A and B are shown apart, each in its own frame.
Chain A
């Protein structure tokens, strides 16, 4: 091996090392750990499949992050959870990236004969709703109080699910005659459930917020890159295709 060849090899090796060194952070950026509301379980992996995802009720995820769970990104189905983490200094200022509306799902064949939300006034049916602490449960209770229908929570047999996926499962399996979910969940399970629209005027504002988690060892760059992808043109297109509403670009 001539000195010239040795020099070339050394140069190539150095170049490779440099490329690897530069590429390594990029690789780390591409795979943050994302804790997201259960209603985002289809849309987020479609936007970016590289991160490690943990989908559950936003309140449960908030609690896990407060206890030191290794999340890099947090996306909640209502501003309450993300804002609470922000106030506690555990994440960056949350931004709204999507909106949603509530619907009533009934199983195929509609065995409970639920024609509209007002059908539930007669009582005696099995109703799947989120528990009060989880966003879908809080939104459902708000919607019902706005329609002066809170009494249906007492006149029907009500299950309190820990997240919206639980509500969808109950309805899809026929364990409930009806369930309150987001419109996006009705689309995901469209082969097993029918969607009944709820009045627009009574809809509570459903706003999704996202933030980068602040903790020692967090993949901040990866989190920022992921949030950028969610809020970018492709991310918005996929969210819209999934039935989400979009806030104005900001």
Chain B
């Protein structure tokens, strides 16, 4: 960073030509260097506490968003996996879907690390089921994908608003950005644009969880019990 102060002067002097060179005297040059050093120091001082602050340490009920996120990302990952295998995609489209899938795998890993003290989610914990004929046509695949991503994005928005821990809020915001991109990508693949759907509203955990549950089964249980 300290170097950047000098680099700026170098670049400007090269690009700006003689006029600047004549105006930048030795005293000014030293001032600029000192300013660069100061900025670099301040930057590193600001960056360090900032980096510490974003480490997620969920407060009691923040785990709701983390748990929802890890389960939703698991479902999204399974969706992209099946969508790539089932759909009639161009090479470019397939690559975009694969990028979204890989992104969700990373999100899953990140959220599971946060959840680790409570017992991380294993892929074998759930059997993931999609409605019949979901993967029978390109339109159906994209519609299902958008439904899932909207659900995930909606709950992340709620989490960014309501999570108590700043680190958890920051993590949810990062995930929100990434999944909003996935949503925009799916919309574009369907012939829409990233902005056609407008600003997404927050989805509360209760209805969001109810919807997410429709994709989940406990494979190993003979009866999941109760109504």
Contact = CB atoms under 8 A, between A and B. Distances in A.
A195 B223 CA distance: 12
Contact of B61 (A103, A148, A197, A243): A148
Contact of B225 (A187, A205, A248): A187
A150 B225 contact: no
A99 interface: yes
Contacts of A118: 206
A115 to B, nearest CB: 10
Interface string B116-144: 00111110111000000000000000000
A7 to B, nearest CB: 60
Interface string A132-161: 000000000010011111110000000000
A235 interface: no
B213 interface: yes
A199 interface: yes
Interface residues of A, number: 35
Interface in B163-201: none
Contact of A201 (B60, B61, B216, B224): B216
A186 to B, nearest CB: 6
Interface stretch (B34-42, B63-71, B76-84, B95-103): B63-71
Contact of B210 (A99, A186, A199, A205): A199
Contacts of A186: 225-226
B224 A101 contact: yes
B51 interface: no
B225 A101 contact: yes
B221 interface: yes
A106 B217 CA distance: 24
B221 A243 contact: yes
Interface in A208-235: none
Contact of A200 (B118, B126, B206, B223): B126
Interface residues of B, number: 33
A9 interface: no
Contact of A241 (B67, B213, B222): B222
A95 interface: no
A202 interface: yes
B64 A200 contact: no
Contacts of B63: 142, 145-146
B64 A147 contact: yes
A248 B213 contact: no
Contact of B227 (A150, A197, A201): A197
A91 interface: no
B209 to A, nearest CB: 5
A249 to B, nearest CB: 11
B212 A205 contact: no
A212 B61 CA distance: 37
Nearest to B120: A205
A140 B60 CA distance: 13
Nearest to B115: A146
B212 A201 contact: yes
A183 interface: yes
B214 to A, nearest CB: 9
A247 interface: yes
B220 interface: yes
12 contacts: A99-B221, A118-B206, A142-B119, A151-B61, A183-B221, A183-B225, A186-B226, A201-B72, A201-B216, A202-B67, A202-B68, A205-B120
Interface of B: 60-61, 63-64, 67-68, 71-72, 118-122, 124-126, 205-206, 209-210, 212-213, 216-218, 220-227
Interface of A: 99, 101, 103-104, 118, 142, 145-151, 183, 186-187, 194-197, 199-205, 240-241, 243-248
Lowest 9 A-B CB distances belong to which pairs?
A195-B226, A183-B225, A245-B220, A197-B226, A148-B64, A146-B67, A148-B61, A200-B216, A201-B71
